[in-house]
Amino acid sequence: MNSSEIISKSSTKNLTQEESATIFQKIFLGEISETKIEDFLLNLSNKGETSDELTGAVQAMRNSSLKVKVNLQENLVDCCGTGGLGKSMMNVSTTAGLVAAAAKVKIAKHGNRTATGKSGSADVLEAANVNLNLNPNQVARCIDEIGIGFMFAQNFHPGMKYVMPVRKRIADKTIFNLLGPLTNPADAKRQCIGVYDPQWILPVAETLKNLGTIKAMVFHSKDGLDEISSVEKTFVAELENNKISEYEIDPKVFDIHQKDLNDLQISSPQESLQLIKATLQNEGFKSGEDITSLNSAAVIYVSDLVNSFEKSFEIAIDVIRSGSAKDKLKELATFSNNLNESA
């Protein structure tokens, strides 16, 4: 089948893994027009993406990406949400990554500008003066030397330049919301992934298992977040030792009793940065501390720094209240800007 036939098929029938990989490979090579990319992404979204289609897309995207090689790769953690919720909250996974890095977890943060909200991880880190335009060796130095590095997706997935205008135009979730977390250029073997719909919790966990992930938590909260919620229970699929278990995290167990998430709403990356700083500077911003501590605990837990979520939560609280995560953000900004081109 040629590209047009596969795109046409995708409107009514599921694609095989090979067909999906073929189309995505052509997309990343710039061989498919924006109009056809838009038709294809909307076809998949309206039909409902399958695990075969997702796996084929992941293979194509990984094959076309730049690679980041770091020391102690087996301990590396990525933490990100799929987005696609139409909500505009403080960047929680980015904040959690900073807290975990301050707790001595090695973080390979993979992210992009927002496609559907007000602030993506790239947007808020840019607002914090972090240098987004690093090459693979420079990102590796960030991770190896200061414990956290950021891989700006569009720089590490060159083919994404053909997709971003289409994603902006669609302004809703697509299969690319799922692809980002599954295509970390540093090949992080430990991950925390928030998904935009509970139907994707198990399929994403299964995909991570197939990709050789050591340990992961995939989650979606009852109040509709691609984060661990500080208000409602969160559904979790945990992958460890090649086995997947399912359970819920209840914030009340951790003496968190938030009524709503109103204090976390933002309208720009600058507002998100203000809330992140208020959280990490221990200024008594309870809403920020509560949701950050739960999500940081997940990152610390999958790193195997300690052997329980409860102990990880205690570490997260201590780090937030010490102010060391605030210093980690400053360190990332300074270090990333001081790297020279030959690094």
Distance of CA 16 to the CA centre of its chain: 26
d(C-alpha 77, C-alpha 65), whole Å: 19
Using CA atoms of 15, 17, 19, 23 in order, give the dihedral in degrees to the nearest 10: 100
pLDDT band at 51 (very low <50, low <70, confident <90, very high): confident
pLDDT band at 217 (very low <50, low <70, confident <90, very high): very high
Distance of CA 67 to the CA centre of its chain: 17
If we measure between CA atoms, which residue out of 192, 109, 119, 182 comes closest to residue 147?
109
**342 pLDDT more than 70:** no
pLDDT of res. 283: 85
If we measure between CA atoms, which residue out of 288, 286, 284 comes closest to residue 275?
288
**SS3 category, 247:** strand
Q: 310 has which bridge partners?
A: none
d(C-alpha 311, C-alpha 297), whole Å: 8
For residue 145, give every residue at least 6 positions away whose Cβ sits within 8 Å of its Cβ, in sequence order, or none.
335
The CATH code that applies to domain 74-152+175-335 is 3.40.1030.10
Within 10 angstroms of residue 244's Cβ, the number of other Cβ atoms is 17
Using CA atoms of 224, 99, 67, 211 in order, give the dihedral in degrees to the nearest 10: -50
Within 10 angstroms of residue 211's Cβ, the number of other Cβ atoms is 18
For residue 331, give every residue at least 6 positions away whose Cβ sits within 8 Å of its Cβ, in sequence order, or none.
146
Q: Of all helices (H) and strands (E), which one includes residue 149?
A: strand 148-152
At 221-242, the pLDDT tens digits run 999 999 999 999 999 999 999 9
d(C-alpha 209, C-alpha 214), whole Å: 8
At 122-147, the pLDDT tens digits run 999 999 999 999 999 999 999 999 99
Is 188 exposed, middle or buried, given 0-12, 13-18 or 19+ CB atoms closer than 10 A?
buried
d(C-alpha 323, C-alpha 231), whole Å: 24
Within 10 angstroms of residue 196's Cβ, the number of other Cβ atoms is 21
At 19-32, the pLDDT tens digits run 999 999 999 999 99
pLDDT band at 341 (very low <50, low <70, confident <90, very high): low
Phi first, then psi: give them for residue 154, nearest 5 degrees. -70, -20
Name the one residue in this structure whose structure tokens are 């799922």: 178
CATH 1.20.970.10 given to domain 3-63: yes
**SS3 category, 266:** coil
Domain parsing of the chain, residue ranges: 3-63, 74-152+175-335
What share of the chain has pLDDT > 70, as a percent? 98
* Strands 234-240 and 215-221, sheet pairing: antiparallel
pLDDT band at 115 (very low <50, low <70, confident <90, very high): low
Q: Of all helices (H) and strands (E), which one includes residue 80?
A: strand 77-81
At 93-112, the pLDDT tens digits run 999 999 999 999 999 999 98
